[in-house]
């Protein structure tokens, strides 16, 4: 099943994320793709809010995974952009997160394709400048 949400402001993208966070279940894994500046962090902040996370959520620039455990479920925010190879995922003990009771959001998941469980849900965010500077199309499948 494929869900498409169109937004025209950061607040709407946050709200789309928040709704997903409200509905998320233990063990849910999401991959998140889209160009720089498209709204991945805004969306992820919404998901965290929907999970009840209290801490401020940022892009995990210098760490592969950022862990937030103040919400209804633990939230694991991955950015694997700087990963050398999939073995580095073993080193951080990724299985504990992927196959645990929390919720995973993985940016740049295509770099560790072979590790992503088949049940992971794919989220992509795209711009379309013909529809305006602040237009975003969020696809969840």
Closest CA to 83 of 59, 45, 116, 110: 110
Q: Which stretch binds ligand ADP (CB under 6 A): 29-37, 71-79, 94-102, 114-122?
A: 29-37
Residues in contact with Mg ion by the rule CB under 5 A: 40-41, 59
Nearer to Mg ion by Cβ, of 39 and 102: the residue is: 39
What are the backbone dihedrals phi and psi of residue 114, each rounded to the nearest 5 degrees, phi first? -70, -15
- Contact residue for ligand ADP among 41, 48, 57, 75 (CB under 6 A): 41
Q: Does 10 bind ligand ADP (CB under 6 A)?
A: yes
Which x/- pattern, by CB under 6 A, does the window 108-137 give for ligand ADP? Answer: --------------------------x-x-
Nearer to Mg ion by Cβ, of 35 and 101: the residue is: 35
Closest CA to 11 of 141, 134, 126: 134
**Cβ contacts of residue 17 below 8 Å, gap of 6+?**
42, 43, 44, 45, 46, 47, 48, 49, 50
């Amino acid at each position: 099943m494929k869900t498409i949400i169109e937004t025209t402001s950061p607040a709407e993208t946050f709200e789309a994320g928040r709704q997903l966070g409200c509905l998320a279940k233990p063990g849910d894994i999401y991959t998140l793709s889209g160009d720089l500046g498209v709204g991945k962090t805004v969306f992820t902040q919404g998901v965290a809010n929907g999970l009840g996370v209290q801490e401020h959520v940022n892009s995990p620039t210098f760490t592969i995974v950022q862990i937030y455990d103040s919400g209804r479920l633990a939230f694991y925010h991955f950015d694997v952009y700087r990963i050398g190879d999939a073995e580095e995922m073993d080193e951080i003990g990724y299985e504990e997160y992927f196959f645990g009771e929390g919720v995973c959001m993985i940016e740049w998941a295509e770099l560790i394709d072979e590790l992503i469980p088949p049940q992971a849900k794919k989220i992509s965010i795209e711009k379309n400048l013909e529809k305006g500077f602040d237009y975003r199309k969020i696809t969840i499948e």
